[in-house]
Amino acid sequence: MDLDQSKDRSPFYENVPQNGCPINFHVTEKNDPFYLHWHEHLELHYVIEGEFVVRCENETVTVSKNSFLIINSNELHEGLGDSGKRFYMLLPPTFFEMQSIILKRVVKDAYLSDLAEKMICEHKNQDDFTSSALQGYAYLILAHLCRYYVYESFDKRAWNSYSQRIVGLNKAVKYIHDNYQASISLEDLSKISNFNKYYFCNIFKSFTGESFKEYQNRIRVQKATELLRATDLPVTEIAFLCGFNDSNYFARTFKKFTNQTPREVRKPSTV
């Protein structure tokens, strides 16, 4: 199954825009976490200074200076913060032919670091040839990774099975997000994803690091946080709007995910 043809996208799916260059290249110095999402692009981060912390599927990784973080195509990931400077680039599936491989998560390699430094200089001193130069360096980095840092490779049949599993899981994620206020059963999700319920439980936990109930509660708390900061609605009403029928349970769950009480995250003017 071609994931790019799937009509059922998770709300965390990111449709990465093209800017005229086959790669999207960015340098950032902000401590700016990004929310959980996925896309077909291969995503590479290089830490220039400090550290970068990211969650990839069910794994939390800290990446140090002069190291690459590799986020493979269709992996759920979120940034948890960075203490220095890094660059990242997004490579579309059309950029390279070897799509049926999974690369290692963190790589520290002198040859790759040298290429990364050249990319940083090229990006800093832009001219009419910068786009072509960045593309050339990206090909060299990718070729080196594919030669020496493949974690797993698939034949066509195994890759199709893997792709179908990702699509089924994202259908379930989309359903949870769209119906986070409702009572969702395991039977509902197994039917939507086209998996039996026992298999679904195992791969959902592997994919997200949480049970589907925990995942639903995380979304509910995120929505509640948005309402607490943007409205003057009473906390009990916000709890109800976000699917919590018990205010005490809401408070405990909110504290679990945010390490704060609902009133602590509310704007001072609306306490």
pLDDT at 14: 61
Length of the chain: 271
pLDDT at 220: 94
In the chain, % of residues over pLDDT 90: 54
- In angstroms, the CA 190 to CA 208 distance is 16
DSSP assignment, residue 16?
A: P
pLDDT reading at 5 higher than 60: no
In the chain, % of residues over pLDDT 70: 87
Residue 63, both tokens = 């990446």
pLDDT at 12: 60
pLDDT band at 3 (very low <50, low <70, confident <90, very high): very low
- In angstroms, the CA 81 to CA 78 distance is 9
Nearest CA among 178, 209, 220, 222 for reference residue 76: 209
- Return phi, psi of residue 248, to 5°: -65, -40
Contact status, residue 220 vs residue 244, Cβ threshold 8 Å? yes
pLDDT at 15: 57
pLDDT at 238: 96
> Which stretch of 47-51, 127-131, 135-139, 159-163 has the lowest confidence by average pLDDT?
159-163
Counting other chains too, the contacts that 117-122 makes at CB distance below 8 Å and 24 or more residues apart are 119/25, 119/87, 119/89, 120/27, 120/48, 120/87
Hunting for tokens 């981060």 — which residue is that? 45
**Residue range 173-192: mean pLDDT, rounded:** 92
Q: Which helix (H) or strand (E) holds 47?
A: strand 42-49
Nearest CA among 267, 241, 243, 262 for reference residue 252: 262
pLDDT band at 177 (very low <50, low <70, confident <90, very high): confident
- In angstroms, the CA 72 to CA 41 distance is 8
pLDDT band at 161 (very low <50, low <70, confident <90, very high): confident
pLDDT reading at 138 higher than 80: yes
pLDDT at 260: 92
> Which stretch of 60-64, 79-83, 249-253 has the lowest confidence by average pLDDT?
79-83
Cα three-residue angle 70-72-76, rounded to 5 degrees: 105
pLDDT at 216: 94
Q: Give the global pTM.
A: 0.66
Contact partners, residue 49, CB within 8 Å, separation at least 6 = 65, 84, 85, 86
